[in-house]
Structure 1
Amino acid sequence: MKKIRVLIIDDSATVRQTLAAVLESDPQIEVIGVASDPFVAARRIAEEIPDVITLDVEMPRMDGITFLRKLMAQKPIPVVMCSSLTEAGSETLLQALEAGAVDIILKPKVGVADHLMESKIRICDAVKAAAGARLAGQRRAASPTTLSPTRSGHEPEKKLTADAMLPPPGATRAMARTTETIICVGASTGGTEALRVLLEGLPADSPGMVIVQHMPEKFTASFAKRLDSLCAVSVKEAEDGDTVLRGRVLIAPGNKHTLLERSGARYYVSVKDGPLVSRHRPSVDVLFRSAARSAGSNAVGVIMTGMGDDGARGLEEMKQAGAYTLAQDEATSVVFGMPKEAIARGCVDRIVPLQNISQEVLRAAAR
């Protein structure tokens, strides 16, 4: 199997060394070079074009966002941002996603080497997803749906299912019918822009919606705020106990699982700690299973662009509970991993291009 060739750009020698070791620990990844700033990187790219670039934000001579924009305008290459910017700089990294970055890896300001080593699977997953990302309408050579994340190049780490958070749907019966339909959405790589397209297509009185987007802690609040400024619906980061209302979209907070609950005819969310499920927290499988349990046929499930299989099992459970289910099509997915896995399970009622998902959601809610 051809290895994914990675170029690391970071002004910290420690980060360059550690990140190289992390990526080289995966047999499917090869680090072809490191660079201390974008000018050194440009010379390296002229010699050999990498499959993926990891890019710091704060660097001398040229910042990472400026370099990213130049790169995407001249020679689009999948980029994973690797930055120590946290809550105060989350808007900057959201700008990076808008400019074309595929994913974000956070590194702390202290203890960065230990943190990167502990985050091996997450980092390697991000690079693999980026390698298969669709940029400027072109499919990359590597296919993320065929790459299995490994630990130190050996056996895959055991993946927990939604059983780690709540019992299967059969343990609780949802109401046969309620006056409101609840929309549950799951997305990962490429989802930040895909969700913008979805939400911008919804009117202000749309059915209540709960979304899991794989995103680091502290970024979901800024992400929700950005979407709220662009859309007719109200968008906020979910807080424990928030009611799911018409015209309101709740975004699961990073590093917390978000579950749909019901009290009488009222739907609300529970935001909880817990283990990684399908290697994610928040997990789409957890949200979808909770929707199958609490809403049943009163729900619509939507699975969108992303690497891996998080959400496929949960969407199947929603379908079995009577929910209507949708998947984003391959042509408009940045990474056709999560939708593909759900489709393979035979639990998707309709496969829809991104630009049509909002109207299909409204049609399904009105059925």
Structure 2
Amino acid sequence: MPRDLKAIEDRHHPDVLLKSNPCLISREKLVVIGSSTGGPIALEEILVALPACNLPPIVIVQHIPEYFSQTLAKRLDGKSKLSVFEVNQKFILKNDCVYLAKGGTQIMLGYENGKYFAYPVLDAPRISRHRPSADVLFRSANNTAGRNALAIILTGMGDDGCIGIKEMHDNGAKTIAQNEQTCVVFGMPKRAIEVGAIDEILPLNKIAEKIVQFSQADINKKETKKEQ
């Protein structure tokens, strides 16, 4: 394929794969994370710091080739107190578990019988130049969990994730970006901040604490900090 046509293919908008249909009802909590360059080390630091204390399910997109996601999942599983799985089939999402998108696929979320589930979409197009794409994960989370979710965007090159995390933010979800000082590449977080999608900008070593706080918080209770 000529280079210019390949570039067009790789710039597909999330609409090509998944239409926006924001969830507007109360459901269980969910955490979603997008990362790219420097992500494996950042994810390891976060997951190692998390206690197994009935945390909501955590679903991750890391830009990674097809045959490396299983190795990464196994490595994170060995270092974390949480159970880590590569999403190579349909999984019912459980608390204190982490679900990593399989390289070379797009990950989708759904909800049935009071439980979230995740599954891979094979032979899907690249969205925002990536497969898996953080934009697909974030939009799917917004469609499925809406304001019941926490979305985190970590170190990475480019702008993948800014569309989906902005939709989550605008729908009432809590959103966090890793700060520039602790990023290997401040591309994805920077772009999400620029489009007005982020509630908090935090150093990497503070993110695990925020996940625990989110798990314990009443998400239906409005924040009053800005009014004081």
Structure 1 residue 319: Cα displacement: 1.0
The 3-state SS of whatever aligns with 2:181 is coil
| Matches for 1:149-228 after TM superposition, within 5 Å | 151=3, 157=8, 159-170=11-22, 173-174=23-24, 176-178=25-27, 180-204=28-52, 205-228=54-77
Residues paired across the two proteins, number: 214
Q: Is the 8 A contact 2:55 2:215 kept in 1?
A: no
Any runs of at least 4 consecutive aligned residues in structure 1 with deviations exceeding 2 A, and if so which?
154-158, 364-367
Structure 1 residue 156: Cα displacement: 5.3
Aligned to 2:106: 257
1:236 counterpart (85, 90, 104): 85
For structure 1, the 5+ residue unaligned runs are 1-117, 121-150
| Offset from partner CA, 1:233-254 (integer Å, 9 cap, x none) | 0011013320111110000000
Q: Is the 8 A contact 1:169 1:321 kept in 2?
A: no
Amino acid at match of 1:268: F
Matches of 1:165 and 1:266, distance apart in 2: 23
Q: Is the 8 A contact 1:241 1:268 kept in 2?
A: yes
Amino acid at match of 1:350: E
The 3-state SS of whatever aligns with 2:192 is helix
Structure 1 residue 155: Cα displacement: 10
| Offset from partner CA, 1:47-78 (integer Å, 9 cap, x none) | xxxxxxxxxxxxxxxxxxxxxxxxxxxxxxxx
Aligned to 2:206: 356
Matches of 1:355 and 1:188, distance apart in 2: 18
Structure 1 residue 157: Cα displacement: 3.1
For structure 2, the 5+ residue unaligned runs are 218-228
Q: Is the 8 A contact 1:177 1:298 kept in 2?
A: yes
Does the alignment pair 1:247 with 2:96? yes
The 3-state SS of whatever aligns with 1:282 is coil
The 3-state SS of whatever aligns with 2:182 is coil
Distance change >3 Å, CA 155–CA 246, structure 1 → 2: closer
Q: Is the 8 A contact 1:300 1:365 kept in 2?
A: no
Q: Is the 8 A contact 1:220 1:252 kept in 2?
A: yes
Q: Is the 8 A contact 2:51 2:82 kept in 1?
A: yes
Amino acid at match of 2:60: I
Structure 1 residue 298: Cα displacement: 1.0
Tell me the TM-score normalised to structure 2 length.
0.89
The 3-state SS of whatever aligns with 1:300 is strand
Does the alignment pair 1:366 with 2:216? yes
Tell me the TM-score normalised to structure 1 length.
0.56
Matches of 2:214 and 2:169, distance apart in 1: 13
Q: Is the 8 A contact 1:239 1:269 kept in 2?
A: no
Amino acid at match of 1:157: I
Structure 1 residue 206: Cα displacement: 2.0
Distance change >3 Å, CA 218–CA 350, structure 1 → 2: same
Matches of 1:344 and 1:281, distance apart in 2: 23
The 3-state SS of whatever aligns with 1:335 is coil
The 3-state SS of whatever aligns with 2:184 is coil
| Offset from partner CA, 1:180-231 (integer Å, 9 cap, x none) | 3110000000001000001011111322100000000111111100111101
Does the alignment pair 1:314 with 2:144? no
Structure 1 residue 365: Cα displacement: 2.9
Matches of 1:351 and 1:157, distance apart in 2: 32
Matches of 2:66 and 2:88, distance apart in 1: 14
Q: Is the 8 A contact 1:169 1:317 kept in 2?
A: no
Aligned to 2:192: 342
